[in-house]
């Protein structure tokens, strides 16, 4: 049996509220494409009824559904990685479970791929998120534009289509902390973007806390650029030069004008500023070192508890499948 034309990869973390609506819209939208497809759900250690709902859907559509159950919460991007490794389609589309990007838009992505693009990103029209999220995204998009070579308008939008070649390249990466759309972009030969509709989360709430978002954006920055480190050493040099000048000025002043006690607070101000810069630098180093540490430990990136798939209905993937990798 031939591999399906399309694999749809969906990470699921505590989405019991939205899964029924997702199933009801996703499968008809995919059936309407008129091509063979598989939907791969990755349950990222949900603690609600998500796993049971996925199992139920697997029983309803075993021909087109595969479910990977993680035995813990490993994060959205590693869940997508697992989906990529299991995927067999010539094209792979990622989608969030929360219906913020309508599944009906998948057809548009595929049409764009037909034009010869190997990576089709997406830009959210009238993004339906809080003003804070929109502002923070704008800021991060601007930072990423400046410090990496990755060019995309809306990095946060996960509704994207990738060619088999790009997915294979991603599968050969051993990164622990990563950001799939950016990683894929670095392998793309002909990337493009289209605009897609964006809706409010159909049900449930965002799985990212403020802290989670900060971590995710640090992953995005540190995984694709060492510019922050370089900036830091450059500003370190600048500040060191300034301090030397300052010390010389103080020494000359001491000789010419005599000792002073008044300027003490200015001095404190400058010292605190320097301490602040130093602490920030140490923290930044720590971010990189921490990621290096996670990488060299070579622990499995994620652990699979079970995989639900109908063996007789699915053809074997081209290469040997690795579910758990270090
Ligand atoms: N998700 C996941 N693991 C996590 C966090 C999120 O698999 O640790 C999934 C989640 O179920 C959803 C997608 O990633 O399908 C995006 O999450 P969410 O919609 O909460 O993020 P937001 O849209 O607020 O950025
Ligand atoms: Mg969402």
Alpha-helical segments (H) within 32-150: 50-60, 76-86, 106-114, 131-147
Centre of ligand 2 to C-alpha 264, Å, is: 52
Separation of alpha carbons 291 and 15, rounded Å: 29
pLDDT of residue 294: 85
Distance in angstroms between the alpha carbons of the first and the last residue of the chain: 30
From residue 246, give the alpha-carbon distance in Å to each of 238, 266, 275.
12, 12, 16
Which residue among 43, 98, 133 is best mutated to probe the pocket of ligand 1, counting the most ligand atoms within 8 A of its Cβ? 98
**Best residue for ligand 1 mutational test, from 8, 13, 47, 80 (most atoms within 8 Å of Cβ):** 13
Q: What angle do CA 195, 150, 132 make, to 5 degrees?
A: 60
Nearest-atom number in ligand 1 for the CA of 12 is 11
pLDDT 10s digits, 193-211: 999 999 999 999 999 999 8
Residues 113-153: tens digit of each pLDDT: 999 999 999 999 888 889 999 999 999 899 999 989 899 99
Q: Which residue ranges have their beta carbon within 6 Å of ligand 1?
A: 11-13, 15, 44, 73, 75-76, 79, 96-98, 100, 206-208
Confidence of residue 239 (pLDDT cuts 50, 70, 90): confident
Q: Which of these, 195, 216, 190, 219, lies nearest to 288 by C-alpha position?
A: 219
Distance from residue 234's CA to the centre of ligand 2 (Å): 38
Token representation of residue 295 = 């990488």
**Contact residues for 139 (Cβ-Cβ < 8 A; gap 6+):** none
The chain-wide mean pLDDT, for the chain, equals 89
Helix (H) or strand (E) holding 265: helix 264-297
User: What number does the ligand 1 atom closest to the CA of 205 have?
Assistant: 20
Residue 312: band (very low, low, confident or very high) from pLDDT cuts 50, 70, 90? low
Structure tokens at 213: 């978002």
Q: Global pTM? A: 0.85
pLDDT of residue 45: 96
Residue nearest atom 24 in ligand 1 by C-alpha distance: 206
């Amino acid at each position: 049996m031939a591999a399906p034309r399309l694999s749809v990869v969906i990470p699921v973390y505590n989405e019991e509220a939205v899964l029924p609506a997702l199933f009801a819209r996703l499968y008809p939208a995919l059936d309407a494409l008129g091509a063979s497809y598989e939907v791969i759900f990755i349950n990222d250690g949900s603690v609600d009824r998500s796993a049971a709902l996925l199992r139920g859907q697997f029983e309803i559509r075993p021909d087109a559904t595969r479910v990977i159950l993680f035995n813990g919460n490993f994060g959205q991007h590693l869940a997508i990685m697992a989906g990529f490794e299991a995927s067999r389609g010539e094209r792979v589309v990622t989608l969030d479970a929360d219906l913020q990007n309508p599944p009906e838009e998948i057809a548009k992505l595929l049409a764009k791929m037909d034009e010869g693009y190997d990576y089709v990103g997406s830009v959210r029209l009238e993004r339906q998120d809080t003003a804070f999220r929109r502002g923070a995204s704008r800021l991060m998009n601007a930072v990423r534009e400046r410090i990496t070579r990755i060019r995309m308008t809306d990095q946060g939008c996960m509704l994207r289509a990738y060619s088999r070649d790009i997915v294979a390249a991603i599968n050969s990466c051993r990164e622990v902390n990563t950001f799939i759309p950016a990683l894929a972009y670095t392998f793309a030969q002909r990337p493009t973007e289209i605009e897609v509709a964006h809706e409010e989360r159909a049900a449930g709430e965002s799985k990212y806390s403020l802290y989670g978002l900060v971590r995710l954006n640090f992953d995005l920055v540190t995984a694709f650029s060492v510019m922050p480190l370089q900036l830091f050493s450059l500003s370190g040099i600048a500040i060191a030069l300034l301090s030397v000048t300052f010390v010389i000025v103080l020494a000359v002043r001491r000789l010419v004008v005599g000792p002073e006690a008044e300027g003490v607070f200015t001095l404190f101000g400058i010292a605190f500023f320097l301490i602040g810069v130093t602490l920030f630098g140490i923290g930044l180093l720590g971010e990189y070192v921490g990621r290096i540490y996670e990488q060299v430990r070579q622990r499995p990136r994620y652990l699979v508890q079970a995989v639900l798939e109908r063996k007789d209905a699915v053809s074997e993937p081209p290469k040997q499948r690795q579910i758990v990798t270090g």
